[in-house]
């Protein structure tokens, strides 16, 4: 009789363990199943290769910009999500209310203007000079070195924001080992002859 009591206690304990295990695993699968329901493979999406994302900046040099549709723009440019224009300025000093007037006449109005001012912003009064324009037209403006401005424009454009950028090519580019390797490979493929 004592053995039956122990057997029943063990059986009840094992049933409750099985039920609690089933309960925990059901909660775990429900929790993890909702966060990712793919086939278990990690995927990456390159925005600049997606035609639906609009215009994005793929490359930058001292003379201009290369866009994701393989168009090269020489000199300063104004870029919108679906169009690009040459910008008739030569330096950061030329950016004023007149050169920014294009951004004020657009409908719907622009959420943010990203200004790429070349290498670095050395003139601290530049922002103060543009502040009245920003307040008058209720336009948000981000003023950055051009390399960072290109990245910011790409990010905001890929989010679907109504963004525009006015960009001046930098005079000095910071190159990495990866940049040098890509350039060598591009030129090697360009000059290879097929037999």
Comparison of pLDDT for 115 and 42, the residue scoring more:
115
Torsion of CA 9, 13, 14, 15, to 10 degrees: 100
pTM: 0.66
- 7 shares its domain with 58: no
* Mean pLDDT of the chain, nearest integer: 77
- 53 shares its domain with 34: no
**What local confidence, expressed as pLDDT, does residue 55 receive?**
92
**What local confidence, expressed as pLDDT, does residue 37 receive?**
58
Residue 138 lies in a domain: yes
**What local confidence, expressed as pLDDT, does residue 168 receive?**
94
CATH code at position 121: 3.40.1230.10
Residue 126 lies in a domain: yes
What is the residue range of 7's domain? 1-43
Question: How many domains is the chain built from?
Answer: 2
């Amino acid at each position: 009789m004592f053995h039956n009591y122990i057997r029943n206690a063990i059986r009840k304990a094992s049933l409750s363990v099985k039920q609690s295990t089933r309960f925990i695993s059901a909660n775990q699968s429900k929790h993890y199943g909702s966060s990712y329901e793919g086939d278990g493979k990690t995927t990456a999406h390159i925005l600049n290769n997606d035609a639906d994302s609009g215009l994005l900046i793929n490359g930058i040099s001292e003379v201009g910009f290369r866009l994701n549709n393989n168009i090269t723009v020489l000199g300063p440019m104004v870029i919108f999500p679906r169009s690009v224009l040459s910008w008739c300025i030569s330096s950061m000093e030329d950016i004023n209310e007149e050169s920014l007037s294009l951004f004020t006449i657009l409908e719907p109005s622009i959420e943010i203007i990203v200004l790429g001012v070349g290498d670095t912003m050395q003139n601290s009064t530049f922002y103060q000079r543009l502040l009245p324009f920003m307040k008058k037209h209720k336009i948000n403006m981000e003023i950055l070195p051009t390399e960072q401005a290109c990245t910011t424009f790409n990010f905001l454009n890929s989010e679907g924001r109504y963004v525009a950028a006015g960009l001046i090519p930098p005079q000095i580019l910071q190159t990495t080992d990866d940049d040098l390797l890509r350039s060598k490979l591009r030129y090697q493929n360009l000059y290879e002859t097929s037999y």
